[in-house]
Structure 1
Amino acid sequence: MELGYSDSVRENVEILDVVSASEEVGILDDVINQGESEVVHLKVGMKFDTVDEIYELYRKYAQQKGFPIKKRSSKKDNGVLRYICFACCREGKHKTDSETPLQPEPTSKFGCKAKLSARLDLDEKWRISVLVLDHNHETSPSKSRFWRCNKKISNHVKKKLLLNDKAGIRMHKHYYTLVVEAGGYENVTFEEKDCRNLVEKERHLKLGEGDAMAIQSYFSKMQKHNTGFFFNIDLDKEGRLKNIFWADGRCREAYKEFGEVITFDTTYLTNKYDMPFAPFVGVNHHGQSTLFGC
């Protein structure tokens, strides 16, 4: 008997199969906010083995109470970390350059004094020395998952995102499957935008399929028509583009005549590959810019 799935439901079912085919165990542990339901209590004198343990406990406490945290300051003695302070992200004062008092710039800083300070004792244990829990602003536990300190994508989920991206699965479909498996958006520790940023970062400086061959083919064709054309392409073992240099015959002749001064600018970035492009430019006898190479 064949089930009468609609096209949209069938598509979602197929995507769920792709996501969970290679490794079904453990995906929920990586997506759902594990352990956040346990009530966290803080007090002066609590001891920890590492700074990371302090940060993680304070982060969970802040998530339950509804405020973001950040590392405020730290001190070292002979290269050894001895003091650390975490504070509410609303601490400090907002500095504005606006000259119009009727149109002030938006700010998230309200001079909040909430903080947690810890010191390394002689027994090599970290102890909470200062703890301020009161805030001078409203807190919102329902918005905690949107703050940067609470966003995290595990290595397992990262692997799934990249594999599904290579398979051509749309990001909104893949993200929806993670939400379904986690039991709702409120149980996912990241947003769809974070997934897209991760994939885009992974694509950084990576050539698309056939692009490297297309560039080499084009430059070889140019070399046949212009014997003075020179190019060099540098790729790594994974086929990622490291460097390209090219200069035609006219550029090389111009360099022989006007190569005393060379300028180049690497601030330009292409939209597709986000790669710095540096044209080598000089000045000819007419005071005009002339290209030496790229």
Structure 2
Amino acid sequence: MESGKQCGVPEFPTAENVEVPTEISVVDILENKLAVGSIVNSVEEAYLLYCQYAHAKGFSVRKGDQRCFPKTNELQSKEFNCSCEGKKDEKCSSKRIPVYQKLITRTKCKARLKITREKEGVWQNAMVNAGISVSNAVSFMENEACGPQNVGFIRKDAYDHMSRLKKHTKVENGDATALIQYFIQKANKENYFYWNVQLDDDDRVMNFFFRDYKCAVDYEYFGDVLSIDTTYRSNKYNLICAPFIGINHHMQNVLFGLAFMSDETEASFEWLFTTFLDAMYGKQHESIFSDQCQAMMNAIETMNLMPRGHI
């Protein structure tokens, strides 16, 4: 065999204008199609893509757990696992000596693909719906792609896309009416209870915020440093849970207020911060901690809400 050649590897033309296909390029293409937050048309498409990826990487795939929407047979999520997932069953139904030694294939491999969707929505990787913010998901993809220039979209595109997907998560009329009635009853019983609701163009509840008297008192004493976290979501409507948190003199967390939002747009955050300041009689914080959501950061800068620091 001649030096520099490998047995079994085909030779390709070496002209500069000819692109040489390699296994790595195939894997890269499949990884992009299976990237965090990517969208597929069906469960079958995701399965075939993952099987192709597994074949290129040298392992096989088997179908794993699945979950349906409550009280329906409609699929909500599906997992595809490496065939080596799990461990060998140590139980033995017979004490007879086996004629041959069975090959151990279950080696606790953790490789898997999970896809999920909202009801009547598109199938996508479960990372965003698992409580990871859009900002963190995009940062992960930028890191995996060795830079934001290789992702194929900018952060604003990701926020706009997620906002479009979540338009159907507005609170239904019956639940919205019950919510507002609860707020009214609570305000009638507690003089200092504060609440506010933002409606969309169809008069559906988009965002709402509330705080009680203790929240206002705690903010008066401990509101110099404010933390806002938007990485959690509710189960039914997939609403963003946004607690306003501070730290008291015992180094314990205290709640200043709680909001639920249907999207993470700059307009929604501007409404939220305006409402929060109104609830706290205009008192501003000195420093603010956030989860680096770009839309939130834009709203903070637009409203000039970080006089000393923003982390």
TM-score (norm 2): 0.32
Compare CA radii of gyration and give the structure with the larger one: 1
- Name which structure has the greater RCO, CA cutoff 8 Å, separation 6+: 1
